[in-house]
């Protein structure tokens, strides 16, 4: 089965409801506690009000909005577990983040089981533990494309900050032992090293680099993007993720994209809290998302780490999406990328 030439017709969604039943599930995660700066928590409202729903409807998606996760009962968890000792109870806001990720896990799982596309609006990247584990509960063969300047694969022992937004990958892979983080008693590691491909990496901590290397995880740094070109990077990505580990056959797998806006160069995406020079260009970022949507295998998507409080005014250009009404640059960029995930330009990509 040839999945990688440029001539195959646009496929229907292989794992979601199609046609008139095609439904976009949306959940907002209004948090900032995975990192230190205010701003990411207001992003879900800005994205919704800035044109998201009109964009989705323009591509014939039905919409089911699961609301925003803003408050969680972390105090009740602490009360019920006051006599339990946790090795990593010193991590910043970890009780709240654990409870929040559980709520997100449940909503994402429900969307996947209902055959809906799961769109998670962050918020910081600490939410990915809940979104990915939830979708993977519905699609056990789920593969993850992680677009980011950072791998977010630190453990509490290797983290220089104690901020959870730098740890969700380590948690998903089981590098953080079960029962060591308060609020995460519900969580069990659900991913293997073969489930992940990283694209856009350029700012890694020393121990994190070694852990990724030791685990033999597929990583495309910005050096690789420049060396091979984004087209070849994506071709290699799909061949890696779609390879059956038992039969060596190439077959479709459901794909989740976890998109940290700082994967894009700050000259294009300024409104984020952890800027890193030398990132993806606009066209490379869009290519990643559009080419993945083209496979028909994309079932879920995180848009995280946009900080409207740090953003620049938007300069509008001829040809911009008419449904996007936000006035800040990085918010508009986030909506453009989501638009690509939902099908924009697919009719020109046969």
Q: What's residue 6's pLDDT?
A: 47
262 catalytic residue (yes or no): yes
The answer to whether the CB of 158 falls within 8 A of the CB of 80 is no
Are 197 and 169 a contacting pair, CB within 8 Å? no
Q: How many C-beta atoms lie closer than 10 Å to residue 257's C-beta? A: 22
Does the annotation mark 125 as catalytic? yes
Domains of the chain in sequence order: 19-345 (3.40.800.10)
Of 100, 127, 99, 121, the closest CA to residue 35 belongs to: 127
Q: Which stretches in the chain have pLDDT values below 50?
A: 1-2, 4-10
Sheet with 117-122, strands from edge to edge, namely 62-69, 23-29, 117-122, 298-304, 255-260, 143-147, 196-201, 218-221
Given the residues 77, 125, 253, 256, the one annotated as active site: 125
**In this predicted structure, what is the pLDDT of residue 327?**
95
Is 165 annotated as catalytic?
yes
Predicted pLDDT at 142: 98
> Of 33, 68, 124, 152, which residue is the catalytic one?
152
Tens digits of per-residue pLDDT, 111-146?
Answer: 999 999 999 999 999 999 999 999 999 999 999 999
Q: What does the angle CA 292 – CA 234 – CA 269 come to, to the nearest 5 degrees? A: 75
Judge residue 90's burial from the number of C-beta atoms within 10 Å of its C-beta, 0-12 exposed, 13-18 middle, 19 or more buried: exposed
Catalytic residue among 77, 93, 95, 165: 165
From the candidates 77, 93, 105, 150, give the one annotated as an active-site residue: 150
Alpha-helical (H) ranges within the chain are 43-47, 53-58, 74-80, 94-113, 128-138, 168-172, 206-214, 222-228, 230-241, 282-294, 329-341
pLDDT at residue 29 in the model: 96
Active-site residue 148, yes or no? yes
């Amino acid at each position: 089965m040839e999945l990688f030439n440029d001539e195959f017709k646009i496929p229907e969604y292989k794992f979601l409801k199609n046609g008139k039943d095609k439904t976009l599930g949306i959940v907002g995660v209004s948090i900032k506690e995975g990192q230190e700066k205010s701003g990411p928590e207001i992003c879900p409202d800005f994205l919704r009000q800035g044109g998201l729903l009109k964009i989705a409807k323009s591509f014939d998606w039905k919409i089911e909005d699961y609301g925003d996760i803003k408050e969680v009962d972390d105090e009740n968890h602490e009360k019920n577990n006051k006599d339990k000792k946790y090795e990593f109870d010193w991590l910043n806001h970890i009780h709240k983040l654990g409870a929040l990720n559980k709520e997100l896990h449940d909503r994402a799982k429900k969307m996947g089981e209902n055959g809906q596309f799961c769109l998670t609006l962050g918020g910081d990247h600490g939410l990915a533990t809940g979104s990915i584990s939830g979708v993977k509960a519905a699609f056990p063969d789920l593969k993850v494309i992680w677009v980011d300047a950072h791998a977010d694969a630190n453990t509490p022992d290797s983290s220089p900050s104690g901020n959870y937004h730098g740890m969700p990958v380590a948690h998903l892979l089981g590098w953080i032992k079960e029962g060591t983080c308060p609020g995460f008693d519900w969580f069990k590691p659900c991913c293997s090293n073969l489930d992940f491909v990283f694209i856009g990496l350029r700012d890694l901590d020393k121990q994190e680099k070694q852990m990724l290397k030791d685990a033999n995880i597929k990583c495309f740094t910005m050096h690789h993007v420049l060396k091979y070109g984004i087209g070849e990077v994506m071709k290699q990505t799909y061949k890696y993720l779609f390879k059956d580990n038992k039969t060596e056959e190439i077959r479709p797998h459901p794909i989740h994209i976890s998109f940290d806006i700082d994967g894009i160069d700050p000259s294009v995406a300024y409104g984020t809290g952890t800027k890193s020079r030398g990132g993806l260009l606009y066209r490379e970022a869009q290519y990643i998302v559009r080419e993945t949507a083209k496979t028909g295998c994309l079932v879920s998507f995180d848009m995280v780490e946009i900080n409207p409080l740090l953003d620049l005014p938007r300069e509008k250009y001829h040809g911009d999406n008419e449904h996007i009404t936000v006035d800040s640059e990085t918010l508009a960029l986030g909506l453009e990328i989501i638009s690509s995930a939902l099908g924009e330009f697919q009719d020109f990509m046969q």
